[in-house]
């Protein structure tokens, strides 16, 4: 075999390995009930902030820990611990996507995505 063929086979093998590793690390969308049933699995949980419950963020104690209560799309509320600082305009978010795992009765998130109200919508929700 020529050296070029050997290098080509190695490149293909590495590419297949990368594909398998990336497929293994993908997470899925779920609710708190499913995440609670599989505590070792990472999930994307979609929900809304429970504005009636307190939010705890004290950067003097721990700048990379923020806790709040989220209500998922099925109406289940759970305490969330975000292992990052409190996002800017967090209270204005319309929808929140958390990426993390359940630990006991708490959801520990390592990342957060927020859908905030669009500045392009007027009061009726129409685009100008």
Q: What is the pLDDT of residue 11?
A: 92
- For 4-45, the pLDDT digits (tens) are 888 889 999 999 888 877 665 556 788 999 989 988 888 999
- For residue 77, the surrounding DSSP H or E stretch is strand 77-82
- For residue 106, the surrounding DSSP H or E stretch is strand 106-115
Of 53, 118, 119, residue with least CA distance to 80: 53
Residue 123 has pLDDT above 60, yes or no: no
Q: Where are the domains of the chain?
A: 28-115
Beta pairing class for 66-72 and 43-49: antiparallel
Beta pairing class for 77-82 and 106-115: parallel
pTM over 0.85: no
Q: What is the pLDDT of residue 26?
A: 58
Topology (CATH) of 28-115 = OB fold (Dihydrolipoamide Acetyltransferase, E2P) (2.40.50)
- For 90-120, the pLDDT digits (tens) are 888 889 999 999 999 999 999 999 987 766 6
Contact 107, 35 (CB under 8 A): yes
């Amino acid at each position: 075999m020529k050296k070029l063929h050997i290098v080509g086979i190695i490149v293909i093998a590495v590419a297949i390995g990368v594909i398998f590793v990336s497929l293994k690390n993908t997470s899925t969308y779920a609710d708190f009930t499913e995440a609670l049933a599989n505590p070792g699995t990472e999930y994307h949980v979609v929900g809304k902030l429970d504005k009636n419950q307190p939010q705890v963020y004290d950067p003097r104690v721990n700048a990379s820990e923020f806790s709040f209560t989220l209500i998922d799309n099925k109406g289940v509320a759970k305490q969330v611990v975000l292992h990052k600082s409190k996002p800017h305009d967090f209270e204005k978010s319309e929808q929140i996507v958390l990426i993390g795992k359940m630990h006991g009765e708490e959801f520990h998130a390592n990342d957060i995505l927020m859908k905030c109200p669009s500045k392009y919508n007027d009061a009726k929700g129409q685009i100008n």
